[in-house]
């Protein structure tokens, strides 16, 4: 699949501002740091969650614990068309999510299927008091009735678009970019 860049949605500075705002909003919605657990969805959500954890530490003087969840085995398409699902690490530092406010963090919210899978995975660790969903970009086109509580930016897209949160942790410059898939007959 070939992609053509349409535009930059967030620059490095704008992305940092969005993450700082999300850090504040997560703490406010959770009612403070007590029993707050950040959980990033592999892979982009984990990088974003680590950044939000650091920002909360700078703002509050203490960092909440950070976990990560891999959804490979919880996807509804895991065994349909995926030859061998690649399973990453899932870790919940507290061992359970019972009675905790979990801030589930991802980079892009699209169909809602990734979030549904992450919710299924989280429930294997207990019953949280509350789950907050935080995403950098909500691009619409939901297939499931899922919404984010903390949203960096909302944009309208089509199915031909791809939204990438490009991060230094993955070897890119920090930004959020909107791409469009190029059809074979359009050329490069």
What's the pLDDT tens digit per position in 12-27?
999 999 999 999 999 9
Count the domains in the chain: 1
Residue 175 lies in a domain: no
Per-residue model confidence as pLDDT tens digits over 36-46: 999 999 989 99
- Cβ atoms of 166 and 175 closer than 8 Å: yes
Residue 65: which domain range?
13-77+87-156
Residue 173 lies in a domain: no
Residue 8 lies in a domain: no
Residue 182 lies in a domain: no
What gap in Å lies between CA 120 and CA 118, rounded to an integer? 5
Residue 88 confidence (pLDDT) above 90: no
Cis peptide upstream of residue 34 (ω within 30 degrees of 0): no
What gap in Å lies between CA 175 and CA 157, rounded to an integer? 17
68: nearest Cα among 46, 37, 44, 98: 46
Residue 1 lies in a domain: no
Residue 80 confidence (pLDDT) above 70: no
Residue 49 lies in a domain: yes
Predicted TM-score (pTM) of the model is: 0.92
Residue 179 lies in a domain: no
Number of H helices, E strands in the chain: 3, 8
Give the mean pLDDT of 83-101: 84
Residue 123 lies in a domain: yes
CATH number at residue 35: 3.40.50.2020
Per-residue model confidence as pLDDT tens digits over 125-165: 999 999 999 999 999 999 999 999 999 999 999 999 999 99
DSSP string, 60-107: HSSPPPEEEE--GGG-TTTTSS-SSPPP---B-TTS--TT-EEEEEEE
What gap in Å lies between CA 37 and CA 167, rounded to an integer? 23
């Amino acid at each position: 699949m070939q992609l053509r860049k349409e535009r930059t949605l967030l620059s490095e500075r704008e992305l940092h501002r969005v993450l700082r705002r999300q850090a504040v909003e997560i703490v406010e919605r959770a009612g403070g740091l007590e029993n707050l657990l950040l959980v990033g969805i592999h892979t982009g959500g984990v990088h974003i969650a680590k950044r939000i954890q650091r920002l909360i530490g700078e703002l509050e003087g203490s960092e909440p614990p950070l976990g990560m969840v891999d959804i490979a085995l919880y996807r509804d398409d895991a065994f349909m068309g995926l030859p061998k699902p690649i399973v990453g690490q899932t870790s919940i530092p507290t061992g359970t999510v019972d009675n905790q406010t979990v801030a589930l963090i991802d980079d892009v919210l699209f169909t809602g299927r990734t979030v549904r899978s992450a919710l299924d995975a989280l429930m294997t660790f207990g019953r949280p008091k509350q789950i907050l969903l935080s995403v950098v970009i909500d691009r619409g086109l939901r297939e499931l009735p899922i919404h984010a509580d903390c949203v960096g930016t909302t944009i309208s897209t089509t199915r031909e678009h791809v939204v990438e949160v490009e991060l230094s942790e993955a070897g890119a410059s920090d930004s959020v970019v909107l791409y469009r898939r190029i059809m074979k007959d359009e050329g490069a």
